[in-house]
């Protein structure tokens, strides 16, 4: 092959597509110290990563250049104007405290009138719901020491993303828990992929979320996929980013097929949009 032809054949690979340029231009996750957001706390350049806690929950710490950065998930229930105390313990034992001021963020509200028998659970369903809630909250507290390779995520199914994270719903005037994930519109049967590399830590068929898979990406960075028609993953299985873990469905208490996608840091749900590239 002549030198000229060789250079020509290389040329397409050297010109990065627009999405690659964007990928490097925007830091993921986009930091915002609001309820449902992620705060970045710079921890300096020690040799070993500091151990960071928010209350009793461990916080994800990653190296960026020379510095350690804590990525602190802020719960949707955090009060704007309040301050969160983060504690960083260096390998030598010294403690440093950081304060995060929670900024306000307005999430939409939705008021619905529904027949009471659709909102009031039977004693049996209530008992099942309480049991599953306790189990899932235990699962969502998982913290493993190895850090994720990246905090950037793939959209787990093709389709329109709802911006309904944080939506406050009222049924017959009574507040429900705010929506803690992103809904992606996709027909039943559409493959669902792992948004990041990790390990399957839970699968189940639960009352509200239906068939569900939870992945651990390391250091409390978790993702949850709900309402699945089928689960193609087993607990303890390692998955790579992009591998199929199930199919979109309409299981659980919903009216039509879609994928519910939640992301957790230090046991609180944070806005999945912060971890995805723009569409
Ligand atoms: Zn949802």
For residue 254, the CA-to-ligand 1 centroid distance in Å is 9
For residue 165, the CA-to-ligand 1 centroid distance in Å is 8
How many whole angstroms separate alpha carbon 80 and alpha carbon 103?
A: 5
For residue 181, the CA-to-ligand 1 centroid distance in Å is 5
Of 207, 217, 211, the C-alpha closest to 263 is: 217
Tens of pLDDT, residues 166-196: 999 898 888 888 999 999 999 999 999 999 9
Yes or no: say if 73 and 264 are a contact pair by the CB < 8 Å rule. Answer: yes
For residue 163, the CA-to-ligand 1 centroid distance in Å is 10
pLDDT at 12: 41
For residue 262, the CA-to-ligand 1 centroid distance in Å is 8
pTM as predicted: 0.88
Alpha-carbon dihedral 268, 272, 274, 279, rounded to 10 degrees: 180
pLDDT at 175: 87
For residue 1, the CA-to-ligand 1 centroid distance in Å is 55
Of 265, 236, 231, the C-alpha closest to 247 is: 231
Spatial strand order in the sheet of 60-64 = 38-42, 67-73, 60-64
For residue 183, the CA-to-ligand 1 centroid distance in Å is 5
For residue 226, the CA-to-ligand 1 centroid distance in Å is 8
Residue 269, both tokens: 């749900």
Cis peptide leading into residue 137 (ω within 30°): no
Cβ neighbors of 240 (< 8 A, separation 6 or more) are 194, 197
Report residue 21's pLDDT band, with 50, 70 and 90 as the boundaries. Answer: very low
């Amino acid at each position: 092959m002549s030198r000229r032809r060789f250079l020509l054949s290389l040329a397409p690979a050297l010109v990065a597509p627009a999405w690659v340029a964007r990928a490097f231009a925007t830091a993921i996750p986009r930091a915002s110290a609001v309820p449902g957001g992620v705060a970045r706390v710079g921890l300096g350049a020690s040799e070993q990563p500091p151990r960071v806690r928010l209350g009793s929950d461990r916080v994800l710490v990653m190296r960026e250049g020379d510095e350690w950065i804590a990525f602190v998930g802020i719960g949707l229930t955090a009060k704007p104007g309040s301050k969160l105390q983060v504690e960083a313990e260096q390998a030598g034992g010294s403690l440093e405290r950081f304060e995060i001021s929670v900024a306000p963020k307005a999430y939409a509200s939705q008021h619905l009138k529904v027949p009471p028998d659709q909102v009031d659970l039977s004693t049996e369903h209530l008992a099942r719901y309480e049991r599953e809630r306790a189990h899932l909250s235990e699962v969502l507290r998982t913290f493993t020491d190895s850090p994720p390779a990246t905090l950037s995520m793939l959209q787990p199914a093709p389709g329109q993303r709802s911006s309904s994270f944080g939506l406050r719903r009222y049924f017959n005037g009574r507040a429900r828990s705010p929506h803690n994930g992103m809904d992606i519109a996709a027909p039943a049967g559409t493959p669902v992929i792992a948004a990041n590399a990790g390990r399957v830590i839970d699968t189940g068929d639960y009352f509200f979320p239906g068939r569900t898979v939870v992945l651990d990406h390391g250091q409390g960075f978790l993702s949850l996929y709900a309402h699945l028609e089928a689960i193609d993953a087993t607990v303890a299985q390692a998955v790579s980013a992009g591998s199929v873990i199930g199919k979109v469905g309409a299981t659980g208490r919903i009216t039509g097929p879609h994928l519910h996608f939640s992301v957790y840091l230090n046991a609180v749900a944070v806005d999945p949009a912060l971890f995805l590239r723009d569409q």
